[in-house]
């Protein structure tokens, strides 16, 4: 397996997953454009199979395993969406999947992973090291570890969402992407700069999970304390070893948003766009609504990364904001 990810890896990934992936719609909103002053194109991966872009990387990885590897099964560790994606991709490919997920993941993600047929193991993300647990499991049973972001096949798969977006919408100047471990923004950057080297790429992180922003500033991968941000998919405490150099090379800057801004963005998506964004996806909308990017009057692509929000959190969002 080559560790290099380039434009052709993303294009090959799209060919590989083309028949099983949803070609998700690109939405526009006059209201959103009026408020922000941009022309915004929302690539709706919340409508992707499994409810998030993660299915792209999971399928692209598992379908490339050898017959022997497929027979031994796969193991994943993630905050939820990746586990769910691995369970679904595995089911479609006839592969046994074990998911190793934090015990405080939203119940909707736990149930969904179960619904797709995966076996689940829970751990305490404040006390246990998930990589160690999962590695032990894979060594004992010979299962293939499917990393959530730090893998060239996963990164290439994640980049296919941007590739579809660029093929559908002409002349995008800028793409904005949420950052957790950095898989989505890495794949997006490679796809975008392969398509047009002048595309500007911005990342968005929660204020309390800004490991990539700090790492970029210090030019070194920095670890931060675990965050409790509502953007549960973006709680990674350090950028990936593969993703960080890609981010350094391609990403112009990173902006941050607060949990309160994320909640207002989810509310905006519900009441004005009529779509569900999970908190980890809504960070980009939050940053756009807060006018946080140093760009003017541009055509901006946004990767809406997922829609698996906990219904109880959504209830809270609806109640809080209706008083504004």
Residues identified as active-site: 54, 79
Note whether 212 binds its own copies by CB under 8 A. Answer: no
CB of 57 to its own copies, least distance (A): 19
Note whether 282 binds its own copies by CB under 8 A. Answer: no
Site for its own copies, residues 127 to 186, rule: CB under 8 A: none
**Piece of 6-14, 132-140, 201-209, 267-275 that binds its own copies (CB under 8 A):** 267-275
Note whether 307 binds its own copies by CB under 8 A. Answer: yes
Q: Which residues contact 187 (CB under 8 A, 6 or more apart)?
A: 5, 10, 57, 155, 156, 157, 158, 159, 160, 161, 162
164: tokens are 């579809």
Rg (CA), the chain: 18
Exposure string (b/e) for 160-172, b if CB count within 10 Å is 16 or more? bbbbbbbeeeeeb
**Pick 149 or 267: Cβ nearer its own copies:** 267
Site for its own copies, residues 13 to 32, rule: CB under 8 A: 25, 27, 30
Note whether 92 binds its own copies by CB under 8 A. Answer: no
CB of 320 to its own copies, least distance (A): 9
Classify strands 26-27 and 39-44 as parallel, antiparallel or unpaired. antiparallel
Note whether 318 binds its own copies by CB under 8 A. Answer: yes
Note whether 49 binds its own copies by CB under 8 A. Answer: yes
* Cα–Cα distance, 159 to 56 (Å, whole number): 8
Note whether 34 binds its own copies by CB under 8 A. Answer: no
- Which residue shows structure tokens 């994606």? 85
Q: Do 250 and 190 meet the contact criterion of CB atoms below 8 Å apart?
A: yes
**Piece of 6-14, 58-66, 246-254, 316-324 that binds its own copies (CB under 8 A):** 316-324
* Cα–Cα distance, 188 to 149 (Å, whole number): 13
Residues that bind its own copies (CB under 8 A): 25, 27, 30, 46-47, 49, 51, 107-108, 267, 270-271, 273-276, 307, 311-312, 314-316, 318-319, 321-322
């Amino acid at each position: 397996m080559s560790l290099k990810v380039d434009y052709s890896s993303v294009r090959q990934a799209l060919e590989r997953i083309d028949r099983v992936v949803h070609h998700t719609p690109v939405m526009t909103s006059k209201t959103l454009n009026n408020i922000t002053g941009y022309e915004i194109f929302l690539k709706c991966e919340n409508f992707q199979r499994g409810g998030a872009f993660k299915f792209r990387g999971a399928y692209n990885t598992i379908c490339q395993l050898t017959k022997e590897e497929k027979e031994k099964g796969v193991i994943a560790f993630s905050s939820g969406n990746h586990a769910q994606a691995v369970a679904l991709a595995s089911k479609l490919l006839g592969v046994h999947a074990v998911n190793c997920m934090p015990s405080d993941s939203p119940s909707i993600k736990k149930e969904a992973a179960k619904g797709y047929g995966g076996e689940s193991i829970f751990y305490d993300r404040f006390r246990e090291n998930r990589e160690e647990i999962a590695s032990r499991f894979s060594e004992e049973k010979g299962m293939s570890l499917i990393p959530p972001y730090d893998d060239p096949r996963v990164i290439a798969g994640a980049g296919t969402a941007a590739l579809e977006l660029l093929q559908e919408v002409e002349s995008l100047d800028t793409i904005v992407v949420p950052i957790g471990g950095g898989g989505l923004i890495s794949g997006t950057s490679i796809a975008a700069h392969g398509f047009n080297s002048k595309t500007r790429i911005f990342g968005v992180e929660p204020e309390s999970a800004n490991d990539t922003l700090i790492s970029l500033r210090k030019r070194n991968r920095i670890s931060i304390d675990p965050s409790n941000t509502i953007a549960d998919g973006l709680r990674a405490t350090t950028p990936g070893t593969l993703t960080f150099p890609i981010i350094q090379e391609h990403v112009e800057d990173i902006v941050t948003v607060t949990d309160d801004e994320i909640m207002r963005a989810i509310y905006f998506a519900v009441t004005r766009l009529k779509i569900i964004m999970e908190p980890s996806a809504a960070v980009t909308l939050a940053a756009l609504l807060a006018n946080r990017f140093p760009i003017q009057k541009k055509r901006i692509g946004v990767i809406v990364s997922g829609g698996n929000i906990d219904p109880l959190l959504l209830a809270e969002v609806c109640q809080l904001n209706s008083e504004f």
